[in-house]
Structure 1
Amino acid sequence: MLSKKLSFVPIAVIFALSILIVGCGESDSGVGVSSETGILEVQMHDAPANYEEVNIFVKSVEVNNADTDTGWVIINEPQQKYDLLELTNGATTVLGSKELEAGTYEQIRLIVTQAQSSIVVDGKSHDLFIPSGPQTGVKLSVNAEIKPDITYTLLLDFDAARSVVERGNEKSGVRYLLKPVISASNQAETGNIAGSIEPVDANPFVYAIADSDTLSSTKADTSDGSFKLIGLEEGTYTVSVDPTNDTYQASDTSGVEVTIDETNELGTIQLSRN
């Protein structure tokens, strides 16, 4: 059995995220002079976490094709709250899409509003404190190459388990902090793994592991045991099933191949009782 399931190293390099205060007066222009355009679509999904809800309120989604902190272009202004824990097991949400001039866009950022972001633990809602201010920009490098007449789908993996930090300082009135950890990949260059777990009441977490690193994770559906691991680079993986019900034994399936733009259907993985 593999023992490093909680050591997440996502497909794309996990970027150290810079928290930027909103309102710096960046221009929405200056993205180049090319008349050729393509579409950038931004989708988001999440790895599982041991909370009931992790809600973030996304004010806007922006991209930048400059080396400096200028030239930001608004992709969308969803003004919407997203429960990250609803975006597991293959589920995604579209944060926005926009026709852009062809070229390489090096950065993306989500403007997240602290006042409407929260976490639910044991039935109780808590505010998520964002250390740098009430409205922040979560920025990361992506190098998305937009080509004429082609839709580029950027897949953001928002890791809720690593992004929420419990401060444990009751005197300050702040218990939970949001320090976003996100990885990004070009959906067109990834594939998926799917299957189901029996018995369903094993309630397992499922991990895709390569070279001892966990590159994707999810929790099997509690109604039918189905699971889907998405956004994986082409290669060979071990699918590791870790039941939360101690009645059942963990299981590893090695040699699972991932091919770009395809889903490897594993069928049913039957767990043994202890």
Structure 2
Amino acid sequence: MKSNFVMKINQLFPAFALALLGLASCSKDSSDDTSGAGMSKFEVRLTDAPGDYAAVNIDVQQVQVHVTDGDDEAGWQTLPLIRPGVYNIMDYTNGNSVGLVSADFPAGKISQIRLILGPNNTLVLRDGTVKALTTPSAQQSGLKLKIDATLVRDVTYQLLLDFDVAKSIVKRGNSGQYNLKPVIRTITTAVAGGIRGVATPASTRPLVLAIRTSTVPNDTLSTTADAAGGFLLRGVPTGNYRVELHSGLLYPVVTRNISVSNDQITDLGTVAVR
């Protein structure tokens, strides 16, 4: 016959497991385990300085980056677009922006970026007149921009393409036609760091929670240690965090209080969970 203690444990454990599952599913963000080590998170966003037009529609079909100092065609790599197609860049002014790319990318140097534009580029004047925008060079070889960024492993970077509409739209004399000659400023910043560590013994495979204590409400990120005990949370915003490792009902929660900055990975080292 089971003791009352064992019966109580058996009754409580499912509720405990469900509670942990709920915490993980409600987290603001989650991360893969250390299988992504050696990669950075790279985001490309588009914003605009206001201009005297109703709309400026840009047909973005590809975003590519160059990973060497030269201009060898083999050095270009295509990034997966969130949504290929037409963007009205007048919608993204005064601090607003739209994401073009959000992808894992090998750590290292990026020297250039280029946008490949499709044929559906148009200008809408204040009176509602729609004009075609001619962009021959951007359609054929791509619009190239220098960036000279070095991505550090496991850190999240954001490349902001700041489009200056007033300088980029050129009227062709009295013909009533317009050319698109984009003037774009590039700004690359590290926007998030990360948290890593190794749980021991590895067989516990603990649930790892990073609870941000420097903001209200307290955002939570989560992951699970891999078969070797390693865990990695990427894309962690700057702030103070309470890191909790949950390895089961019979073992206490292991807690660490840490600070995370944009340009580094906070390493907890080896954490004993039993």
TM-score normalized by the length of structure 2: 0.52
Structure 1 contact 54–120 (Cα < 8 Å) conserved: yes
Query: Which residue pairs with 1:72 in the alignment?
Result: 76
Secondary structure of residue in 2 paired with 1:91: coil
> Residue deviations 1:210-255, cap 9 Å, x none?
xxxxxxxxxxxxxxxxxxxxxxxxxxxxxxxxxxxxxxxxxxxxxx
Question: Number of residues paired by the alignment?
Answer: 153
Query: Highest CA radius of gyration, 1 or 2?
Result: 2
Secondary structure of residue in 1 paired with 2:177: strand
Query: Which residue pairs with 1:193 in the alignment?
Result: none
- Flag the 1:148–1:134 CA change in 2: closer, same or farther, 3 A: closer
Q: Aligned pair 1:108/2:88, yes or no? A: no
- Flag the 1:188–1:72 CA change in 2: closer, same or farther, 3 A: same
> Residue deviations 1:175-224, cap 9 Å, x none?
100001001112348xxxxxxxxxxxxxxxxxxxxxxxxxxxxxxxxxxx
Identical aligned residues as a percent:
40
Paired residue type of 1:117: N
Q: Distance in 2 between matches of 1:138 and 1:71?
A: 16
Query: Which residue pairs with 1:50 in the alignment?
Result: 52
Q: Distance in 2 between matches of 1:143 and 1:117?
A: 28
Deviant stretches of 4+, over 6 Å: none
Q: Distance in 1 between matches of 2:138 and 2:39?
A: 36
The structure with more strand, counted as a fraction of residues: 1
> Residue deviations 1:53-99, cap 9 Å, x none?
00100001111111223321111233211111111011100011221
Aligned pairs (5 A) from 1:107-186: 107-113=112-118, 115-121=119-125, 122-132=127-137, 134-170=139-175, 175-186=177-188
Q: Distance in 1 between matches of 2:180 and 2:120?
A: 12
TM-score normalized by the length of structure 1: 0.52
- Flag the 1:49–1:108 CA change in 2: closer, same or farther, 3 A: same
Secondary structure of residue in 2 paired with 1:85: helix
Secondary structure of residue in 1 paired with 2:90: helix
Q: Distance in 2 between matches of 1:184 and 1:128?
A: 22
The structure with more helix, counted as a fraction of residues: 2
Structure 1 unaligned regions, length at least 5:
1-34, 190-260, 262-274
Structure 1 contact 112–136 (Cα < 8 Å) conserved: no
Structure 1 contact 131–177 (Cα < 8 Å) conserved: no
Q: Distance in 2 between matches of 1:183 and 1:134?
A: 20
- Of stretches 128-137 and 158-167 in structure 1, the one that deviates more from structure 2 is 128-137
Q: CA RMSD in A?
A: 2.1
Q: Distance in 2 between matches of 1:83 and 1:38?
A: 29
